[in-house]
Structure 1
């Protein structure tokens, strides 16, 4: 293993996290990234902040052309989906199909691995897009503005690390298993980074959002552990989506 791979932090963790969680063309030292594995998970909220920053800049360009907030919100969602490769949306759909479409653990995991999408998945995606679009339309038109996109993208990726640290892998293969299991310190650091950015950018509303995200993420973890005995990459993606929805809804309540 290369020198420095045992360190808590490494600058290469940031591009590795961006490369894992998005389709952005960042140079990644694959040998080091594989050696670091779950040690780089602390950087997931940083990757989220980068995604959020690019999304905010895209939104600013739309607003500069006097595009309505409702249409801008829809285009922002499309932009997010493109740069992330819809990986979190895919996790949400697969989790909804598997957790509610199967009657026992093995069948649920089998359904989640299936590339086809079922009724639960379609409904989950439809509701997710509808709620996010509605909330984004209000948030970007409020005093929070487009800066909220950075906070939302950062804090919504912190629970993924906590779930990876807290729950065992539900299956022996898959992306989550390949990345590995971060320790509690990495999860805490990710939470501090995500919540810290939310507090800096949004003030007290960021703290309120953190409280609600903690509760919804705990609910996701309890459901996943009960139904499939742990977490998978799909569960992590679903948790990010639910955290994002939760934070956006909290912001609309704080307007």
Structure 2
């Protein structure tokens, strides 16, 4: 059943998100997960960023029938992949402000990868959608600060800037559950906040840790101008061998271009 915002004939956009844990686990099973997801756009977190690992993301994408839209050091391990049927209008990565040290401990860099996409709708196209891959931090205050920079009103980076008003999909590892304070900022931020696709679809399964999931820290959050048709995780028997997070896949319905 399709639930969410009404709106005539809409195009279907499938968005998936998965934290790939630096590609340290079973790459073959991870490729199975991505292929089973059948997503138009895939948001990744914890992609390796050291210089000698760049080819690994390209190989992963190609093996899953996807291509790399947005990645790079500024994104701090976030990336966006897309299927060939998707018209990618722009892609970029940007760093989120993160201190180098917290006390005597080094702090992991944070960033976001984002892309503006549209999908076929009969003989025309859907409206453009801004998709952001995010990986929020382990510290609550940092998550709150970064959430305030990721709400719909936040300006996209560089090449994505002309689509600042496009419907937003924010997907990734949020490092907190649905009742967390950063999720509250994302839920209530202007204009209209972002809805948790799993809650809309009634599919609130835990995502972490993959072998015995207890927490729902991975999510697809959607602009109220988009409708949610379904949310699931790919039915791959050994999915927990791919990474320590279960993938989340959301089928969204996108309005036609204006």
Q: Same fold (TM over 0.5)?
A: no
The higher radius of gyration belongs to 1
Q: TM-score, normalised on structure 1?
A: 0.29
Q: TM-score, normalised by structure 2?
A: 0.29
Name the structure where helix makes up a greater proportion of residues: 1
